[in-house]
Amino acid sequence: MNHKTTTILSALATIAAATLCATPSSNTVEAVTQDWKQGNYSNVYELAQARFASNSNDLVAAHLMMEFDTAFSSREAASNSIMRLVRISDEVTLPAYTNLYGMARSSWIWYANEFFPSLTDTELEQHHTWAQTTRHEMSSDFMLKILWKNNLW
């Protein structure tokens, strides 16, 4: 190999290593839900962003962003994430998912249109504090597991 080829390959290897280090520990439903429970919320956020970068209608990314935005973002971001998830979920045809989604849809819309917009600044701050200090399950945990089991992750 000549010097130019070696330099290019070295640069590509550096970029690949940086990309791998910037992603969550693993792209599995177990690893992501564990990251969430352990308070590694930025890993969940980064995975959602990476998935949206390759597909703006990624269902897994929509679930992860909804989890993040409803826990940590503004009222508007939370409502927008929920409605994005609803819009993407409306297109899903997998029976195991649609059966559960059918039960969740009206609640999600209520949260997006009623709950988050009605929160005062103090209530939103209390909600964020609770989300950051309480190690809780992701509300989409079961739906994400359905996607994983059906190779839609």
pLDDT of residue 137: 80
CA distance 76 to 80: 6
Instruction: Please give the backbone phi and psi of residue 62, each rounded to the nearest 5 degrees, phi first.
Output: -65, -40
CA distance 20 to 15: 9
Decide: helix, strand or coil at residue 26: coil
Please give the chain's pLDDT, 153 residues, in tens: 544 433 443 433 333 333 333 344 456 888 999 999 888 999 999 999 999 999 999 999 999 999 999 999 999 999 999 999 999 999 999 999 999 999 999 999 999 999 999 999 999 999 888 888 776 788 888 899 999 888 888
- Check residue 111 and report its DSSP letter: I
In the chain, where the domains are located: 28-149
Q: Is the separation of the CB atoms in 52 and 61 below 8 Å?
A: yes
Q: Which residues of 50-69 are buried (b: 16+ CB within 10 A; e: fewer)?
A: bbbeeeeebbbbbbbbbbbb
